[in-house]
């Protein structure tokens, strides 16, 4: 199963017809080059789409050039999920890597797939709240650790992480824009995390030596939006 389907099927046990719908939707996927807009702020939000492969981010740019990533979109995440009839996008979404997206298979009300979408949406909100906490009350080292743990958690859901680590296509500069820091400071804090044996980051490969102890160190709590913890 493709990572996107793995993720959604882990949110709600999907039927084989759902899996098939996801697979056939993915066949009609479209490639978006890195740095291109997937959604533009203030424009029509368009149909709901599903990220099949690659990373994207919701971004906001201030008039004086300051930039901040509001959230990241990974394989299996939905773009433009919304109940409103003619919604305008409240943020631009750009491709961080080459991204392949497809139209999200339509889900009849209260179907398994619809539930998966709803849970995905709830998770997205939970991640936004965590991001607020990160920016508001964590110091630089905690922000980095907490952020990487979140990414690890999310990639694991899609089967895209191994026990020891995962691949991230982010530069230190994009980390800085996500965490409200400067690239220079991200660099220094990564070094200190390396020195303290919490992680390695070579090329695009991140290795978390002991996720549990890192979580304890930065005070991260697991995120749950349903009664059943994910398998």
Partner DNA sequence: CGACGGCTTGAGAGACCTCAATGTAGGTGG
Partner DNA sequence: CCACCTACATTGAGGTCTCTCAAGCCGTCG
To which residue do tokens 């999310």 refer?
Answer: 154
Q: How far apart are CA 25 and CA 51, in angstroms?
A: 11
Least Å from the CB of residue 222 to DNA: 24
When asked if residue 217 is in the footprint of DNA (CB under 7 A), the reply is no
Could you say which of 98, 135, 156, 167 contacts a copy of itself (CB under 8 A)? Answer: 135
Query: For residue 109, what is the enclosing H or E element?
Result: none
Kindly tell me which of 7 and 220 has the beta carbon lying closer to DNA.
220
Q: How many CB atoms lie within 10 A of CB 58?
A: 22
Interface segment toward a copy of itself; rule CB under 8 A; list 112-120, 147-155, 164-172, 203-211: 112-120
- What tokens were used for 137? 């009350």
- What tokens were used for 3? 């990572």
When asked if residue 209 is in the footprint of a copy of itself (CB under 8 A), the reply is no
When asked if residue 84 is in the footprint of a copy of itself (CB under 8 A), the reply is yes
Tell me, what DSSP letter sits at residue 78? E
Q: Is 99 helix (H, G, I), strand (E, B) or coil?
A: strand
**Of the candidates 58, 68, 41, 73, which has an alpha carbon nearest to the alpha carbon of residue 169?**
73
Longest dimension (CA), the chain: 51
Could you say which of 10, 29, 49, 58 contacts a copy of itself (CB under 8 A)? Answer: 58
- What tokens were used for 48? 């709901």
When asked if residue 71 is in the footprint of DNA (CB under 7 A), the reply is no
To which residue do tokens 């990639």 refer?
Answer: 155
Q: Is 147 helix (H, G, I), strand (E, B) or coil?
A: helix
Q: How far apart are CA 81 and CA 51, in angstroms?
A: 12
Least Å from the CB of residue 45 to a copy of itself: 10
In the shown chain, the binding pattern of residues 20 to 49 toward a copy of itself, with x for contact by CB under 8 A and - for none, equals ----------------------x-------
When asked if residue 85 is in the footprint of a copy of itself (CB under 8 A), the reply is yes
When asked if residue 185 is in the footprint of DNA (CB under 7 A), the reply is yes
Question: Which spans of this chain sit near DNA (rule: CB under 7 A)?
Answer: 139-141, 171-173, 180-185, 187-191
Question: Which spans of this chain sit near a copy of itself (rule: CB under 8 A)?
Answer: 42, 58, 60, 62-64, 66-68, 70, 82-88, 90-91, 110, 115, 118-119, 121-122, 125-126, 128-129, 131-133, 135-137, 179-180, 219, 223-227
């Amino acid at each position: 199963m493709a990572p996107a389907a793995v993720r959604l099927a882990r949110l709600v046990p999907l039927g084989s017809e759902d899996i098939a719908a996801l697979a056939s939707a993915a066949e009609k996927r479209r490639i978006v080059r890195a740095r291109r807009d997937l959604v533009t702020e203030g424009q029509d939000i368009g149909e709901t789409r599903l990220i099949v492969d690659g990373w994207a981010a919701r971004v906001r740019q201030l008039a004086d050039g300051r930039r901040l990533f509001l959230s990241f979109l990974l394989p299996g995440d939905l773009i433009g999920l919304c109940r409103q009839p003619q919604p305008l996008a409240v943020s631009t979404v750009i491709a961080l890597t080459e991204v392949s997206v497809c139209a999200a298979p339509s889900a009849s009300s209260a179907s398994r797939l619809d539930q998966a979408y709803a849970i995905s949406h709830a998770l997205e909100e939970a991640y936004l709240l965590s991001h607020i906490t990160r920016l508001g009350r964590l110091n630089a080292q905690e922000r980095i650790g907490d952020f990487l743990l979140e990414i690890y958690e999310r990639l694991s859901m899609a089967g895209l992480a191994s026990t020891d680590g995962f691949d991230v296509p982010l530069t230190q500069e994009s980390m800085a824009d996500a965490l409200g820091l400067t690239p220079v400071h991200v660099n220094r804090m990564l070094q200190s995390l390396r020195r303290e044996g919490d992680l390695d980051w070579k090329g695009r490969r991140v290795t978390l030596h002991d996720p549990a102890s890192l979580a304890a160190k930065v005070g991260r709590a697991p995120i749950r939006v349903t009664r059943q913890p994910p398998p």
